[in-house]
Amino acid sequence: MSVLTSRPVLRWALPAGLVAVVLGGGALVTTMQASADVRLPPRSAAQLLVDVQTARLEGVSGTVVERADLGLIALPPGIGGGAAGSSGIDLASLISGSNTMRVWYSGKDKARVALIRSNGESDIVHNGTDTWLWNSRDNTATHYQESDKDARPHPEAAPSGLPADLPKTPQEAADRVLAALDPTTVVTTDSNALVAKHKAYQLVLRPRDTASLVAEVRIAIDGDAHVPIQLQVFAKGDPNKAAFEIGFTQVSFKRPDDGVFAFNPPPGAKVTEGSDKAGADKAGAPGGTRELKPGNVTKPAGPAAEPKSTVIGKGWTAVLVTRLPQDANAPRDDRAAAMQGLLGRLPQVHGAFGTGRVLSAKLFTVLLLDDGRVLVGAVNQDALISAASNPAAALK
Amino acid sequence: MSAVELRARPSTRFFRSELWLIFGRRRNWVGMAVLAAVPVLLIIAVKVSPPGGGGGPDFVNQITQNGVFAALAALTLELPLFLPVAVASISADSIAGEANLGTLRYLLAVPVDRVRLLVVKFAAIAVFALAATLLVAGVGALLGLAVFGGGPLVTLSGTTLPFWAGVGRLVLVCGYLTVCLTAMGAIGMFVSTLTEQPIGATIATLVLTVGSEILDAIPQLAVIHRYLPTHYWLAYTDLLRDPVSYDQVVPGLWSATAYILIFGAAAWARFAGRDVTS
């Protein structure tokens, strides 16, 4: 005490020390995790693929975080989330920012995904033949019942009548996947990692085509359960930080309690019965983020020109050319108008294909042509422009 | 009854007088009346024009189903500003208020050990944080139940909890928010040792709190978000999920503990060595 009385400055050592302990403690945990013992029996890429296929999954419960850092400007909330109100997923948060989900899985007929928002939640609960969609924001529950005759047979329950060329063993399937990937992709393994406190193997896919914006894709596979628990996509020129990643931050492979799959619509909620087809449709494309596949483009309502799409190039540098549905172009409300304003700020390009605007992100580039055509690819702007000059891109 | 005997027995007299200072002052009554007015206004508003699905925060839509939600909605509305204002003014007043009135030197001349003074002041701040939270929640819950009636509590996950389990969740929420606000009170108490102007300390504490909330809303600063004192405050909604998620609540409690320890120690470092002239 006498030292402290004569030199009061020394007292500040206590709060300063506490700050150091708190910050240093956090850093220490990170370092310890980075240098933790992640030794696992060595496995080749083919062996890992076999492991993944033969894994018997009892159940999973955990938290999944999706993070995107695509180098795009963060959009103000409300813009870009076309269906945010109804489904709870904001499209804007998928391309910049992060989403947190809690997932539970117990066998084929019990699964639940909860999308966490700061003061709400959207759930998809599947239990037996019932599927419920719940949204706390508008207090709605939608019920889909799968009738028994529509019930999809379990893959292992239909061993007969398969085409002869289907792989017989997981080993064969793994070999075929690797063979199919080989012309475009280098498949290797990397040093093991620690994901969600689980030791994990790392499978690395690297495009052979150097024009691709994707530098590599890393898939972490749990060392014990042999289940993929993290996927990271690294952009060219930024090898330290994943441009997109989705993975567990906390995971347990114990079978979750059956209680988490029980869902009864709460009193006061708006309950709608949906047809099974629409259910599968909606569950497959949450938030209207339905992938545009070639030949599978939804027709717009009305007499607009029939949209077509085509793919130019192959593998990692393939460019998708499609036509936006016309009704999506018409400004309907303030949000669409704001979107138009944002598009107007994108850099403009001219060429034989006409004029258009370019949206460049770390992993992909989008070329929006003024005539309504859209080109998307994991390539840079020049490659997109040359694809746009390709006669096949005219969509005629 | 000698003086020696009196010293040996730890007395709660100082703590009781401190609580009386906080809860007996008329200005604090007015402050608490403002806190209690928010759930009252909210319930009147919902009763007059029930929210028609969608729009407001998720809790407000539920009030007409279960009055307990009025408590949660009121806490949600008051958490960004009203509750921090209340705790900031009380905690900033703790040392600077005594110094400003000129009573600090008499208090130390009693004599009260400076460490004990800080501990008692901090304990009183914690009690006030609890009282403020319970006041908002209590007024909201009781009036909500009286106007809209009770019932099972609908969690954010869409499942229903029995009435008393729902009340239990509300108590957990109050407990968590009390810890969060107490951490803010520790910052306020430290600021209070720096000055003799309680109003200055109040404003400084509020600037820190609101500034932290603003920084927390800027996505480009995501790197520092988890170090901000208010970052985990909204995690109380995780207590209303089914099953309860502790992914944010547990770090929130650690963060609050760290802030209490660091700013409590800083307040001691400043106050124990300071010349008290007023």
Each residue's pLDDT tens digit in chain B (278 positions)?
444 444 545 678 888 988 998 999 999 999 999 999 999 999 999 888 877 554 455 677 778 778 888 999 999 999 999 999 999 999 999 999 988 888 888 888 877 788 889 999 999 999 999 999 999 999 999 999 999 888 888 888 888 888 899 999 999 999 999 999 999 999 999 999 999 899 999 999 999 999 999 999 887 788 899 899 999 999 999 999 988 989 899 999 999 999 999 999 999 999 887 777 66
The CB-side HSE value for A232 (13 A sphere, CA atoms) comes to 20
Within a domain: residue B157?
Answer: yes
Residue A64 lies inside a defined structural domain of this protein? yes
pLDDT at B277: 67
Q: What is the CATH number of the domain that holds A64?
A: 2.50.20.10
| Nearest CB partner across the interface for A11, out of B159, B262, B273 | B273
Nearest CA in chain B to A139: B53
Q: Answer yes or no: is pLDDT of A233 > 50.
A: yes
Is residue A236 a part of any domain in this protein? yes
Mean pLDDT value of segment A98-110: 88
Residues A242 and A297 in one domain: no
Q: Hey, of A19, A115, A130, A137, which one would you mutate to test binding to chain B, going by the most B CBs within 10 A of its CB?
A: A137
Q: What share of chain A is helix, strand, coil (3-state, %, to 5)?
A: 30, 35, 40
A87 neighbors A99 (Cβ within 8 angstroms) = no
Helices (H), B161-248: 163-194, 198-216, 222-225
Whether A330 has a pLDDT exceeding 90, the answer reads: no
B272·A121 Cβ contact <8 A = no
Q: Is there a domain that residue A352 lies in?
A: yes
B88, with CB counted inside 10 A (0-12, 13-18, 19+), is buried
CA atoms within 13 A on the CB side of B191: 26
**CB-based contacts of A151: which residues, under 8 Å, 6+ apart?**
A129
Say if residue A268 is in the same domain as residue A137.
yes
Residue ending a domain, among A287, A314, A334, is A287
Strand A228-235, strand A214-222: pairing: antiparallel
Same-domain status, A268 and A304? no
Asked if residue B49 belongs to a domain, the reply is: yes
Q: Are residues A249 and A338 in the same domain?
A: no
In a domain, B201, yes or no: yes
| Same-domain status, A104 and A216 | yes
CA atoms within 13 A on the CB side of A291: 4
* Pair of tokens at residue A357: 């605007």
pLDDT score recorded for residue A362: 87
Please enumerate in sequence order all residues whose Cβ is within 8 A of that of A54, keeping only pairs 6 or more positions apart, or say none: A170, A226
Angle at A227 between CA A175 and CA A276, to 5 degrees: 95
Minimal-distance CA residue of chain A relative to B232:
A118
SS3 A236: coil
Enter the DSSP assignment of A165: T
Judged by DSSP in three states, B58 sits in helix
Interface test with B, best of A119, A127, A131 (most B CBs within 10 A): A119
Do A361 and A225 lie in one domain? The reply is: no
Residues of B with CB under 8 A from a CB of A: 53-54, 57-59, 61-62, 64-65, 76, 151-152, 154, 156-160, 219-220, 234, 237-238, 241-243, 245, 247, 258, 261-263, 265-266, 268-270, 272-273
Query: Cis bond leading into B243, ω under 30°?
Result: yes
Element (H, E) at B153: strand B153-154
If asked whether residues A352 and A381 sit together in one domain, one would say yes
pLDDT, tens digit (0-9, with 9 covering 90-100), for A36-59: 777 888 888 888 888 888 888 888
Q: Are B154 and A268 a contacting pair at CB < 8 A?
A: yes
ipTM of the complex: 0.80
Q: How confident is the model at residue A289 (pLDDT cuts 50, 70, 90)?
A: very low
The residue ranges of DSSP E strands in chain A, in sequence order, are: 59-69, 96-106, 110-117, 120-127, 130-135, 140-145, 185-195, 198-207, 214-222, 228-235, 244-252, 270-274, 309-312, 319-323, 348-351, 354-360, 365-369, 373-377
Question: Taking 80 as the threshold, does the pLDDT of residue A34 lie above it?
Answer: no
Burial class (CB in 10 A: 0-12, 13-18, 19+), B40: middle
Shortest Cα distance from A186 to chain B (angstroms)? 33
Number of domains in chain B: 1
Cis status of the peptide bond prior to B111, with omega within 30 of 0: yes
User: What is the residue range of A256's domain?
Assistant: 45-150+165-287
Q: In chain A, how many domains are there?
A: 3
Q: Which residue has the tokens 């449709």?
A: A281
pLDDT for position A88: 44
Can you count the helices (H) and strands (E) in chain A? 10, 18
Spatial contact of B180 and B249, defined as CB atoms under 8 Å apart? no
- For B60, the domain range is 12-272
Is the domain of A345 the same as that of A384?
A: yes
Instruction: For residues A173 and A211, state if they share a domain.
Output: yes
Q: Is the domain of A62 the same as that of A101?
A: yes
Kindly state whether residue B3 falls inside one of the protein's structural domains: no
